[in-house]
Chains A and B, each alone.
Chain A
Amino acid sequence: MAELRVENLHVSVQGKEILRGVNLTMNEGETIALVGPNGHGKSTLLFAIMGHPNYVVTEGSITLDGKDVLSLSVDERSRLGLFLAMQSPSEIPGVNSADFLKAAMNARREKPIPLYAFFSSLQKAYREMGIPFEMSNRNLNEGFSGGEKKKNEILQLKLLEPRFALLDEIDSGLDVDAIGVVSNAIKEEQKKGRGFLVISHYARLYDLIEPSRVAVMVNGRIAVEGGPELAKKIDTQGYEWIKTELGIEIEKEKASVTSIGVCGVKEAIKK
């Protein structure tokens, strides 16, 4: 069984240490909810696993089935079976969505996918995600609404069939119908044995996709892991109990953390 293992991971962003020794192991077919207060390193962990150049690993290891992920380039990590659904997918002017998807699918095949097979799988994925097929002819994410961008991330997940998918607030900006579509698609992919590491601020998504485990990130470390009941507890009680029950002082969000990603900023607005 495939296993994604993060050990003692330290990550710095612009010289500032955000992750301070993360330990987390994910098995194939398992869904882990990654929760925690804003600015404590949840997105940083996902970006570091995927290999974003701004997230510098200073210590620790990431392995997939024993293979050293940190020595691989971003595209090699993807082809090894990692997928990151981003919170704010880039709009890429001039890059046609279908061309992009074809390039991504061909990247993991020895021979280029035959045109007919490509279009039929494309059509199927668009239909299942409830995205009009005409949008495959539009520029990648350009002018897409927030919800369309998120659905487009899951559409890519379906086509690229990763072993482990990292979802960064896939439900933010989605209306109720879209959350239904996205969570159904995730459930279908869960059945195929893919592992999921899912960041969300809302219990609603977790209710739908039923994570097997919950990991709470505090101060750049996994403070506590537990079963699904942990997500419920946080949803009703917040994070205060971490201090009283575990004796961990929750550090306040730092301004420098919000400046490196949209995440913290967005969340601050949402409150």
Chain B
Amino acid sequence: MLTLVDSEIRDLELEVKEGEKLDVRLASFKAFPNVRIHVKIQKNGIFDGCFADFSLGEGKAVIEVELLGEGAKASWHYAGISSRDSQKTVSASITHKAPNTFGRIYQYGIAMDEGRLSFFGASEIEKGAYASDTAQKEKIIVFDAGAVGKCSPALNIDENDVVASHSAVVGKLPEEHMFYLLSRGIEKPVAKRLLVLSYLRPVLEHFEGDLAERISAQIEEGSLR
């Protein structure tokens, strides 16, 4: 397990050797990391990457995964908030270069205040990577009128006999949910916090121990800085 909290690393090259497993956990509470992570996965290797992001700032985080060996698997999960005047881009790609490989990209975010959040996702199945399975899901909830959310999911499939899917949603906070909470006397900032919490809580499952607690506290209290 590789855990990076508020890391200032700019460039990270990782390799998952044959039959091995690598978990990477990123958490940002201060400044948004301008980072590029490149992961190569050999035969039957497994990569599980997860990024919980509560930082402020401007920049682009890039994760590029290459599934090089047969049976390689990769998943990437981002959950975060772009608040105040933050301008964040998260770009994830998984390239299937061998048969029977498996890739998942999940990116969930909240754009609030004047924040901007952009997700790019690319799932690519190259010629020869038959029997591969790839999927991506992106979802951004735009909380405030001044906030902007953008999703660009892409699938490039160059082989038959594969399973591929993608979905992207950018939407406002469901008005009925907000009304329900407000109608019980809950003030708007608290209602928003409950909804942020509900939206980002699933990311907690990927973290353990003190870091999970810190993320939990951040979701609960720091999400509306």
Taking Cβ atoms with an 8 Å cutoff, the residues of A that contact B are 50-54, 73-75, 77-79, 83-84, 86, 89-90, 92-95, 99-100, 103-104, 107-108, 139, 156, 160
Contact of B186 among A83, A84, A90, A103 (CB under 8 A): A103
Let me know if B180 and A90 touch, CB within 8 A: yes
Taking Cβ atoms with an 8 Å cutoff, the residues of B that contact A are 174-177, 179-188, 190-191, 194-195, 197-199, 201-202
Prevailing SS type, chain B contact patch? helix
A132 to B198, CA, bound (A): 23
Let me know if A78 and B182 touch, CB within 8 A: yes
Let me know if A107 and B185 touch, CB within 8 A: yes
Residues of B within 8 Å of A79, CB to CB, are 185
Let me know if B197 and A94 touch, CB within 8 A: yes
| A153 → chain B closest CB, angstroms | 10
| A59 → chain B closest CB, angstroms | 23
Let me know if A92 and B198 touch, CB within 8 A: yes
Residues of A within 8 Å of B176, CB to CB, are 90
Contact of A95 among B175, B182, B198, B202 (CB under 8 A): B198
A90 to B197, CA, bound (A): 17
Let me know if B187 and A107 touch, CB within 8 A: yes
A33 to B182, CA, bound (A): 25
Let me know if A103 and B190 touch, CB within 8 A: yes
A73 to B182, CA, bound (A): 9
Let me know if B180 and A104 touch, CB within 8 A: no
A82 to B177, CA, bound (A): 18
| A183 → chain B closest CB, angstroms | 22
Let me know if B185 and A78 touch, CB within 8 A: yes
Let me know if B179 and A74 touch, CB within 8 A: yes
A50 to B202, CA, bound (A): 32
| B37 → chain A closest CB, angstroms | 28
Contact of B175 among A53, A84, A93 (CB under 8 A): A53
Q: Which 6 A-B pairs have the closest CB atoms?
A: A94-B198, A78-B185, A74-B182, A104-B184, A107-B185, A90-B180
A50 to B188, CA, bound (A): 15
The verdict on A95 contacting B197 (CB below 8 Å), with A78-B184, A100-B181, A107-B184 known, is: yes
| A261 → chain B closest CB, angstroms | 11
| A90 → chain B closest CB, angstroms | 4
A99 to B196, CA, bound (A): 13
A sample of 13 cross-chain residue pairs with beta-carbon separation below 8 angstroms, ordered by A number, consists of A73-B182, A75-B186, A78-B185, A86-B180, A89-B180, A92-B177, A92-B198, A94-B195, A94-B201, A95-B195, A99-B194, A107-B190, A156-B184
Let me know if A100 and B194 touch, CB within 8 A: yes
A90 to B179, CA, bound (A): 9
Residues of B within 8 Å of A156, CB to CB, are 184
Residues of B within 8 Å of A108, CB to CB, are 185
The verdict on A95 contacting B183 (CB below 8 Å), with A53-B175, A75-B188, A90-B177 known, is: no
The verdict on A75 contacting B185 (CB below 8 Å), with A86-B180, A89-B180 known, is: yes
Residues of B within 8 Å of A89, CB to CB, are 180
Residues of A within 8 Å of B199, CB to CB, are 94
Q: A95-B181, A107-B185 are in contact. List 8 more A-B contacts (CB 8 A).
A: A75-B182, A75-B185, A75-B188, A90-B174, A92-B180, A93-B198, A99-B194, A100-B194
A90 to B199, CA, bound (A): 16
Name the residue on A nearest B200 (C-beta).
Answer: A94
Most chain B CB within a 10 A radius of its CB, from A89, A99, A103: A103
| B95 → chain A closest CB, angstroms | 33
A86 to B184, CA, bound (A): 11
A141 to B85, CA, bound (A): 35
Residues of A within 8 Å of B184, CB to CB, are 75, 78, 100, 103-104, 107, 156, 160
